[in-house]
Structures are given as structure tokens and as C-alpha cells.
Structure 1
């Protein structure tokens, strides 16, 4: 359910301009800031990039192997050393990418810091039930919440209150964004899900997690994907992440389900944006996103932005309503200005 579609730069520019949001104009970046190890993160390679777009490579006891953290800094970051900035955490789908090149113009902003942490081939933004699979240590939630967030706040000039911190994600990352916003409302005041797996009450959503666990690329492969079918890495047990997916003994699935009433109530003071198409794999996310919208409405919790763009006919020239960056590019182009306004109002 999480395959990738890369769009060309010209198509990206068209998709963004259709929605009236121009990509940030590049300026000469300042020097890359230095980062001090801490919170269980150890840098194992030199920082790559410059003062505007940089990537750290770290290790942590919470995860096996090396992992990256990509950071976009606003143009004025180096020029104004007294200024602090709001932060967007942008969560990837699976298999995790630092950022599809086509989405970067829509994702970057000169009014905030953007952090894209590694989400793993099938991390699912969770501390896995099983830590002895072929992938070894897999405590992704602890990595992001207990390590990456405080590490960024310690090393960059951030505004650290919830009104100036947002989390957004697409596909698997849509689940992660909703889950983190619900589980840690003291950290995140804004959340956006794009084609997210945000209702674990649906068999299709649980099936998507199983497909990544069992590395079944043909099931979640988006039609017409320029990148081909996704590879979710070594096969692990079907119960590895959230335990049994069947509707008995499924306590973990229920506890983390973004669509549960108990979890949705935690978003009462959070600005919420939801996006989805309804073609191909997005038929399932359309149902999930519609359910969440209805549940929130019944709870009296407002949604700041809800976009069901259907077949994508009116959602930029790259969108066909399917589960792809062709639709997520205009979705980010739509959401970033909203988030900028939210941060300014805060």
C-alpha cells in the first residue's frame, strides 16, 4: 500500500502552481550547524549537505543498523542567530525515503524547520512487540519521540511548545502522524494525514501492515509506479509489530488505532488536516479517512482541512487519485501554507 511514484520536476512545478503555492526560492545557504550527540543518538558519519538541506547518520540502541535524519532549514536560519523556529516532523511511507525529490519543492518552507526522520522499510512508527526478528531491535516510536525530538530541540533553535510543533505523514506515515499526535498531545499541536492507514478497525488497514511484514510487494504495488513494486525488507512474523492482527487478542492494534474514540478525543485541541484520493489503493484510505472524519464530527472535534480529491481531476495535473506522490505533492503544497498560518497565529 506504500509504493512510490516519482514525478518530474516540471510536473511538480505545475502541480504546485495549480494550487497557488510557489516553491521556496533557493538562496545561498549558510554554514551547516554542528550537532552534539545525545539522547541515545550517536553520529557515525559526517553531516551531508549544506546549511539548507542536510542529513545526519546516527545509531541508537533502539534500532539495529544506521539511520538517517534529514533536515530542511529555512533560508533565514543562519542569518538570524537569535530567532527560534517552529518545526514540522514529516513522516515517510514505506519503504522509507529521505524525501522523494519531486515532493521537496512543496514540502520545504522558509517559515519553519522540517525534519524527516527515517521510518524504516516497515517501521510503522511503533515499538515492535517482537525485538528478535531478522531486523533486530525495532523501537521506532522510542527513536522518534524520546530521541529525535529532544535531539533536534537541543541542537537547533526551535520553538518547543506544542503550538509550534507539527507532525504530518503520508501512507504509513499518515498512521504515524495521527498516532503520535494522539499519544503525545503535549508535543504536537498540529497533525496532517495524507492517504493514511488511520483506521485499524478495517481489515484492509491490517492487511497493509501484514503485507509489509511478509514483504508481499505485489499486493501493495501502486499501478504505474515509476519506481516499481516496493521492497519491504526481510520477512518477519505476522505478529511482529502489533501482535496478532485478528479480531481476538488484538489489544495492541486497538490501543494504537487512530480511529478509536479514546484516541480521537486526545485531538480536541489539535489542528487536524486529512487528505485522500479514492482510486486504486486509496479506495481503502478513503474509507479510513472518511470514518475518522465522521467520528471526529460526532465527537464535536473540528477538522481544519478535509480534502477528498477523488480521482484527482481537480487536484493538480500530476494527481490521478491514486496512492502516489503525484497526489501527495499537491496535498503538501496545500497543507504547508495552512501550517505556516497556524504557526504564525500561535
Structure 2
């Protein structure tokens, strides 16, 4: 081969390697015990490349990402490329198991279903104990899809000392419109007899608390999603109350194509809010 041509091919190969990011995040599955429910549940933890290769004392912000109804802790990594976001934004991603139809609440009718306590307190405590996290609300965010979108907002509202930011993707933000969802009455109770609980749990009923607790908020739903109207109503209520938040509607429905794209914007939103906490925790080390 012509030496000049060989050199050009080598140069092109090097440039392609430089231009194409190498994703070196680590994915682990850990069993996280629940005292509240007397058992352990698996969770997926994605660590950014810098966690292993960078400063051994550096600490990282955490984004908790919840699955939807009928899903599990494997959903996000199986159906999206969410792991790349750990490397891109230097965050730890945690995807806990929230049961099939738990709605991430502490059920008033089923004492065995304590998923808000589990995800909002027990999982957070375990992750902070076993990984190099920045264990402050300013470096901790929670989001999720569908049922997980509701759960993320509900947990953040009920635990503002734990989470400084929250998001929802295609969120079932008002359970009162989901009475036909299989299994929902097993955790919420009867929609007539227990109507007050259903009303209180609707995110719109607590919308003002996002502003009062200074929770950074981002909401995203597809224009072809059956849940878009309840998301619009929540957005309108937040605007009416003067609560700062990001709101987006994009083409798409209740699908992984939509969710795997939307989560990129949500983690970007959270990462922007983490900067001050990261600098305070690590200084020039990051």
C-alpha cells in the first residue's frame, strides 16, 4: 500500500476514535433490604467511568429513575441507553424495584406495600452508605416513567429533605384518572370509599409544595399519550401558582422510544442543578 495512503487511513482511524466517545460506565445489581417490607429487592446501579478511574475520593450526585407499572429494576437498562448518561453527566444512576403495581406509595389498605418508605428512605440510605455519593438534597434527584413518574413526584413532595429535584416522564400524575388500571385499588383502596386519599395523592393537590420546598421540577409527556391531558392540567396549575418548572410535550406516545429520548433531557436538567453541590463536595477534584 502507498505509504501516504496508509498514513491517511491511520490518521482517519485515530480521529474516529477521538470523535466517538468511549462509554465505560459500570452496571451493578445490588440487593437492597427493606425493613418496612421484611425482604430485599434488587436494584440496578450505574456508576460513571470517573467513579473507578478518577479521584478515588470524589463523590457523585445521584439520580433515582423509577420504572412503570408491570416493570422492574431492569427496565431502563434493557430498553434504553440510559447508562451513557452516567458517563456524560458524571452521575450515579439508581433504578430500584418498585413492584408491579405499587404506585410507590405506602398503601393505606395493604400494610405489606410500603414502597414510598422503601424507595424514598431505605434505598437512599443504602446507596449513600455503600457508594461515594454526595448525600445532600442538592445532589439528589428522582424521576420515572408512567407510574414511576407519579411515584417520583409523590416521593419528592413527601420527602423534600431528601430530594432537591424531581421529574416525571409520561407520568400518571393523577391516579383518579387511572381507576381502571389493574391492581390500583389494591394499594389506593376503593375510589369511592377512600376518595379522600385518592384526592390527596393527586399531584395537582400538592402542586404549591414544589415551590414552597424549592424542588427543581421537570415534566415531560408525549402529545399522543393518553396521559397528556392530566400533565397539561398539572402544568397549568403550576403556572397559575407561579411555581417554577420545566414542561415539555414532544411527538410520541406511551412508548420506550419516547421515554428513552425524554430521559436524556431530564438528566441534563438535573445535572445543571447539581453543579454547585458537586463543586462544594469535590472542588477542583472534579
Equivalent runs, 1:128-139 vs 2, <5 Å? 128-131=107-110, 137-139=112-114
Look up the match of 2:15: none
Per-residue CA distance 1:305-329 (angstroms, 9 max, x = gap):
21111xx2xxxxxxxx211111011
Look up the match of 2:7: none
CA distance in 2, matches of 1:258, 1:183: 11
Match of 1:55, SS? strand
Look up the match of 1:212: 183
Deviation for aligned residue 1:205: 2.6
Deviation for aligned residue 1:58: 4.1
Give yes or no for the alignment of 1:336 onto 2:267.
yes
The TM-score with structure 2 as length reference comes to 0.81
Distance 1:105 1:91, change over 3 A: closer
CA distance in 1, matches of 2:21, 2:188: 39
Match of 1:158, SS? coil
Look up the match of 1:127: 106
Give yes or no for the alignment of 1:55 onto 2:29.
yes
Equivalent runs, 1:180-191 vs 2, <5 Å? 180-191=155-166
The TM-score with structure 1 as length reference comes to 0.68
Equivalent runs, 1:170-189 vs 2, <5 Å? 170-189=145-164
CA distance in 1, matches of 2:150, 2:21: 28
Structure 1: state its 5+ residue gaps. Answer: 1-21, 30-51, 214-237, 313-320
Higher relative contact order (CA 8 A, sep 6+): 1
Match 1:99 to one of 67, 71, 75 = 75
Equivalent runs, 1:152-301 vs 2, <5 Å? 152-200=127-175, 202=176, 204-208=177-181, 211-213=182-184, 238=185, 240-246=186-192, 249-260=194-205, 263-268=206-211, 269-279=214-224, 282-283=225-226, 285-301=227-243
Match 1:141 to one of 104, 116, 119 = 116
Give yes or no for the alignment of 1:25 onto 2:25.
no
Q: Report if aligned partners of 1:194, 1:276 keep a CA contact under 8 Å in 2.
A: yes
Q: Report if aligned partners of 2:218, 2:269 keep a CA contact under 8 Å in 1.
A: no
Deviation for aligned residue 1:156: 1.0
Per-residue CA distance 1:155-190 (angstroms, 9 max, x = gap):
111111111100001000000011011111111111
Q: Report if aligned partners of 2:152, 2:166 keep a CA contact under 8 Å in 1.
A: yes
Higher helix share: 2
Match of 1:116, SS? strand
Per-residue CA distance 1:108-159 (angstroms, 9 max, x = gap):
3221111110011111101122337xxxx22111111231111111111111
Q: Report if aligned partners of 1:129, 1:241 keep a CA contact under 8 Å in 2.
A: yes
CA RMSD of aligned residues (A): 2.2
Give the greater-gyration-radius structure (CA).
2
CA distance in 2, matches of 1:126, 1:254: 14
Distance 1:103 1:140, change over 3 A: same
Corresponding residue pairs, total: 252
